[in-house]
Structure 1
Amino acid sequence: MKVIIAPDSFKGSLSSIQAAEAIERGIKKAALAYSENVEVAKVPMADGGEGTVEAIISAVGGKIIPTKALDPLGRPIDSFFGVLPDNTAVIEMAAASGLNFLKEEERNPLKTTSYGTGQLIKAALDMGCENIIIGIGGSATNDGGVGMAQAIGVEFLDKEGKQIGFGGGELSKIYKIDISNLDGRVKNAKFTIASDVKNPLCGPEGASAIYGPQKGATPEMIEILDKNLDHLAKIIKRDLGKDIKDLPGAGAAGGLGAALMAFLDAQLRPGIEIVMELSNFKEKVKDANIIFTGEGSTDYQTKFGKVPFGVAQVAKEYNKPVICVSGSLLEGYEQLYEYGISAMFSIVNKPMDLKEAMERGEELLYKTSENLFRLLFVGLGLGR
């Protein structure tokens, strides 16, 4: 029997690699108990958020490049990006501009900047990389990607000709955009955005309204941020001749999607598709008997391009069963049955709070995987 293990990270608890290893241990323990031979192939997954670099390098090889950057509040931090064997760079904005760098009381999208993400792009260009993939999940920012653009040479000038400051609250001051000092190397590079977000830049479905609250935005802040992004879009259209306001994905990562399209001509692709393509996932599924996937929380939103959905779509092509083992199953998870997932389970095995569940994530995932495979052996007529 051949089993493919292809989970996302269990955010705040396990990386995708750690999750895959926990599932593998459970499967192998069950197989040993039944004296069965099981071949396991681990293919850690990601969709553009935290863990994307690690997952891709685990699947295809390459190296992690340590570097320095500024966090969302402009503080120096140790950061990183990945370089694949073909010199493709893989960047995750969460490694510099992620919500994970901020305490609860520090979250304020009027002040947070994507500047550090621009520094990672510049560092990749310094390495000679001309194919750059940028995962933009987990953002702490709502600055329309202005910070990112500032880091690679774009100037956002106020009426006095001075560069504006950091944060979404500064965008209303933009009077002119000057790209004359934009890093010339971007013209020879190809940029791909890895994201499952299709939101426009502004409006009720835009960056501020939908994602602002999780970044610390109050209703009053959301109104300001949305107006500021609208202003940014108008200046970009006037000065660059690019209308990015309503493009699908422009609102991703607080508008970073819009800036990447406007200043770097980046193309938007579902993150899970990129990871599966790089890891040659389809070929691995062809001769598998069953696929295990999972994530921290599975609900109706999973069908909009998250890892279990992407895995199930490939498995469905080859008529392979998919088991999804997640930290929790929430509202609307049943909808995933229509998209190729055969069965879904939560790893929580008794009443417990979120903190305990996350601290025990590896143990719970391991035990749940063992129990599920014991049940599978029973179903195959191997029960004792």
Structure 2
Amino acid sequence: MTVPTPAPRVVIAPDKFKGTLTAAAVATHVAAGLRSVLPDVEVVAVPVADGGDGTLAAAEAAGFARVTVPAHGPTGEDRKASYGVRGSEAVVELAEVCGLDLLADTGLAPLTATSRGTGDLIAAALDDGARRVVVGIGGSASTDGGLGLLQALGARVTGADGREVGPGGLGLEQAVALDLSGLHPGLSGAEVVVACDVDNPLTGSRGAAAVYGPQKGASPDDVERLDAALARWADLVAATTGRDHRDDPGAGAAGGVGFGMVAVAGATTRPGAELVFELAGLHDALTGATLVITGEGALDRQTLHGKAPAAVAAVARDAGVPVVAVAGKVTLPEGELRAAGIDAAYALLDEAASVKEAFEAPGPLLERLGARIAREHLGGGR
């Protein structure tokens, strides 16, 4: 008697293709391609992110509900933004409310951009009863040391005139007193975890201003000014709390938001992809998997340094599951891909008739790549 071969079980765990498709959309198109060749294939979609832009979407795909509230944008403007909630756990994405991309149309504000909106979302989640808050801080527009975020959480930062200081690094220049007596009471009973994939200190040649300030529009003079302001801020926080966290790995993340979160809000830091995988249930999804498909817009050198596809490949390798990847373009040589745990990589640019097609019609191309993967890695069509 012939025993039927069980249908393959494929976990599709991509990051977004920035500017074209969300991670969930990538997974949907790849799944359609797999099913066009193997109709009975079992597909488990686990959209992921690395803790930056796309973290909230990955959480939503994992069952978190969006809650939309008033918040401040990167230049202090009133706007609406969302956080995710599932039970007593919340997910906040900095890029959602005060990210650099939000200034694409209005222009950068290196000296005055604020992290306040992230604090607005954290406060709203705590008001809602969150007992664990995961904060993805990638993609920040500001270099304010977490000043705005902490003000939104109830910290009072005043200048020599006794008034609250203004936003951004310029505000830090004026800060002479820090009063934490009004800090949100929910912080004392909640676990706050920051998704952070960099090890930069707050100040100095590897600090927030020197390394990331130019990306946010800071001139060389601005960088010098911001670095001095951050040092002043670190002195004030240390004098107030009795602890100096300016040299902690990751203190310089997101323009110093990492510093503010740890030094004042009592947060801990974890690698971003690792946190998202926990939220999304990736480890459980790998049980019994035949193949994992991951990907992002570009598989390049940056992929190997904390980006989601490399992290997915590492987790899958530990589970003994082979991995292939899809991407808009692939610049990593085969040897480096294999060293990262990726057995094969498929690029939209190789499938498309033109670069324009790859950017404007990635969905059908991903479906064609999904069909190829079904034939070449799952025995489809034989």
TM-score, normalised to structure 1, is 0.91
* C-alpha distance in structure 1 between counterparts of 2:335 and 2:162, whole Å: 55
- Secondary structure at the aligned position of 1:358 is classed as helix
Match of 1:125 in 2: 126
Match of 1:44 in 2: 47
- Is residue 8–residue 293 contact of structure 1 (8 Å, CA) maintained in 2? yes
Deviation at residue 142 of structure 1 after TM alignment: 1.1
Match of 2:371 in 1: 370
Deviation at residue 205 of structure 1 after TM alignment: 2.1
Match of 2:215 in 1: 214
* C-alpha distance in structure 2 between counterparts of 1:44 and 1:381, whole Å: 24
> Which amino acid is the alignment partner of residue 149 of structure 1?
L
1:17 aligns with 2:24: yes
> Which amino acid is the alignment partner of residue 18 of structure 2?
K
> Which amino acid is the alignment partner of residue 113 of structure 2?
T
1:102 aligns with 2:103: yes
Deviation at residue 218 of structure 1 after TM alignment: 2.3
1:2 aligns with 2:9: yes
* C-alpha distance in structure 2 between counterparts of 1:309 and 1:25, whole Å: 24
* C-alpha distance in structure 2 between counterparts of 1:236 and 1:370, whole Å: 56
Deviation at residue 294 of structure 1 after TM alignment: 0.5
Match of 1:75 in 2: 77
> Which amino acid is the alignment partner of residue 11 of structure 1?
K
* C-alpha distance in structure 2 between counterparts of 1:213 and 1:367, whole Å: 40
> 1:227–1:362: structure 2 CA closer, same or farther, 3 Å change rule?
farther
Deviation at residue 83 of structure 1 after TM alignment: 0.7
Match of 1:150 in 2: 151
- Secondary structure at the aligned position of 1:120 is classed as helix
> Which amino acid is the alignment partner of residue 9 of structure 1?
K
Residue range with higher mean Cα deviation, 157-166 or 356-365: 356-365
Match of 1:232 in 2: 233
> 1:298–1:181: structure 2 CA closer, same or farther, 3 Å change rule?
same
> 1:42–1:62: structure 2 CA closer, same or farther, 3 Å change rule?
same
Residue range with higher mean Cα deviation, 229-238 or 366-375: 366-375
* C-alpha distance in structure 2 between counterparts of 1:333 and 1:201, whole Å: 37
> 1:14–1:78: structure 2 CA closer, same or farther, 3 Å change rule?
same
> Which amino acid is the alignment partner of residue 63 of structure 1?
A
* C-alpha distance in structure 2 between counterparts of 1:381 and 1:190, whole Å: 47
Matches within 5 A, 1:23-34: 23-32=30-39
- Secondary structure at the aligned position of 1:106 is classed as coil
Deviation at residue 369 of structure 1 after TM alignment: 2.4
- Secondary structure at the aligned position of 2:75 is classed as coil
What do residues 181-201 of structure 1 show as CA deviations (whole Å, max 9, x unaligned)? 212221111101122222221
Match of 2:5 in 1: none
Deviation at residue 359 of structure 1 after TM alignment: 3.0
Deviation at residue 13 of structure 1 after TM alignment: 1.4
Aligned residues: 374
Residue range with higher mean Cα deviation, 284-293 or 323-332: 323-332
- Is residue 81–residue 90 contact of structure 1 (8 Å, CA) maintained in 2? yes
Deviation at residue 372 of structure 1 after TM alignment: 3.1
Structural RMSD (CA): 2.0
Match of 2:68 in 1: 66
- Secondary structure at the aligned position of 1:6 is classed as strand
* C-alpha distance in structure 1 between counterparts of 2:80 and 2:162, whole Å: 33
Deviation at residue 364 of structure 1 after TM alignment: 2.8
- Secondary structure at the aligned position of 1:217 is classed as coil
> 1:343–1:219: structure 2 CA closer, same or farther, 3 Å change rule?
farther
TM-score, normalised to structure 2, is 0.92
Matches within 5 A, 1:152-191: 152-191=153-192
* C-alpha distance in structure 1 between counterparts of 2:318 and 2:254, whole Å: 31
Percent identity reads 40
Match of 1:245 in 2: 246
* C-alpha distance in structure 2 between counterparts of 1:146 and 1:203, whole Å: 19
Deviation at residue 330 of structure 1 after TM alignment: 3.6
- Secondary structure at the aligned position of 2:349 is classed as coil
* C-alpha distance in structure 1 between counterparts of 2:93 and 2:109, whole Å: 21
* C-alpha distance in structure 1 between counterparts of 2:380 and 2:15, whole Å: 31
Match of 1:280 in 2: 281
* C-alpha distance in structure 1 between counterparts of 2:96 and 2:381, whole Å: 46
* C-alpha distance in structure 1 between counterparts of 2:354 and 2:143, whole Å: 34
- Is residue 59–residue 280 contact of structure 2 (8 Å, CA) maintained in 1? yes
Deviation at residue 100 of structure 1 after TM alignment: 2.3
* C-alpha distance in structure 2 between counterparts of 1:170 and 1:271, whole Å: 29
Deviation at residue 41 of structure 1 after TM alignment: 0.6
- Is residue 95–residue 138 contact of structure 2 (8 Å, CA) maintained in 1? yes
Deviation at residue 317 of structure 1 after TM alignment: 1.1
> 1:9–1:301: structure 2 CA closer, same or farther, 3 Å change rule?
same
- Is residue 69–residue 79 contact of structure 1 (8 Å, CA) maintained in 2? yes
- Is residue 47–residue 280 contact of structure 2 (8 Å, CA) maintained in 1? no
Deviation at residue 323 of structure 1 after TM alignment: 0.7
- Secondary structure at the aligned position of 1:134 is classed as strand
Deviation at residue 64 of structure 1 after TM alignment: 0.9
Match of 2:340 in 1: 339
Matches within 5 A, 1:258-269: 258-269=259-270
Match of 1:360 in 2: 361
Gaps of 5+ in 2: 1-7
